[in-house]
Amino acid sequence: MISFILTGLVLFFIWFVYFFSKDIWKHRKNLESGSWAKTGIIGFVVNFFDVLGIGAFAPQTILLKFTKQTPDKLIPGTMNVANTIPVLIQAIVFIKIIEVEPITLIVMFSSATIGAIIGAGIVSKLPENTIRFIMGLALLITAGFMFANKMQWIHGEGTEIGLSGWKLLIAGSVNFMLGALMTVGVGLYAPCMALVYLLGLSPQVAFPIMMGSCAFLMPPASFKFIKEGSYHRKAALGMAIPAVVAVLIAAFIVKSLPLDSLRSVVMAVIIYTALNMLYNVIKSSRGKESFENIFTK
């Protein structure tokens, strides 16, 4: 059954590379403005630390905003498309080297994928202010999970490599919601890691579950973003290529680093960016009487 999962990931990889390349080639003469160097560095850095457990979406959101490489409205689609190929590679690597019961993987992966397919169709049509608002809240949630992990409020002391019964049902239901939230820029790693810990699974098991969930949900979600044109082609391509190199280096050469200090810095920047996003939403909605404009503009 693990061979079946790995075959599915390889097929997703081939299909997505073809579809993404086809869209880039079709629009090659009118790619958006932006810097290949800046997006390349962003793609390399965030995916390098993604393999080591930091997560890519929160720091990637920050860096894309700071360097002004893509409009806020296109950030969710751009991140999903740019990270699909490197995440597929991560999943293949970690599923091969860390043992997890196949039924647990299948339930977690399929539920996240269904959530993402539903979520991407909605997100691609949302107004920019709504996306800013949701992403601001998402970043605060991510920071909360990072802080809880740093304070050791969520302990990874389990030893199980699989789930059954009500625990499996809860895991699948939560992963469905996390899959949908991935499409608005909510990173799946932190909340999924917390879920794995709380259900008594081994901390190591979190890596194939997190990465495999993203690997199965991101191709169909990204397909929708590409089909709708709801992503920044140049930024996505600029991040995707160096990201593959970063994943291979982190997975096979570096493997681990002391990351506590880096997590603290990332957490502080995430909170600042989230508050700045929410401030801009409220400012653009022009006060309490127009707060409903968040969902209409």
Mean pLDDT, 10 residues at a time, the chain of 297 residues: 89 94 93 92 91 79 89 89 94 88 92 84 71 73 72 67 89 87 72 77 82 89 89 95 92 66 64 74 62 50
What's this model's pTM, rounded to 2 decimal places? 0.76
Domain extent for 205: 2-295
Helix (H, G, I), strand (E, B) or coil at 127: coil
What's the pLDDT score for residue 258? 60
Taking the C-alpha atoms of residue 218 and residue 230, their distance in angstroms, rounded to an integer, is 14
- The CA-based angle 284-73-183, given to 5 degrees, is 125
157 C-beta neighbours (distance < 10 Å), count: 8
What's the pLDDT score for residue 255? 60
Q: In terms of Cα–Cα distance, which of 24, 91, 80, 90 is closest to 244?
A: 90
What's the pLDDT score for residue 108? 93
What's the pLDDT score for residue 111? 92
Taking the C-alpha atoms of residue 71 and residue 68, their distance in angstroms, rounded to an integer, is 7
What's the pLDDT score for residue 41? 96
Domain count, the chain: 1
Place of tokens 């296109």: 74
What's the pLDDT score for residue 91? 92
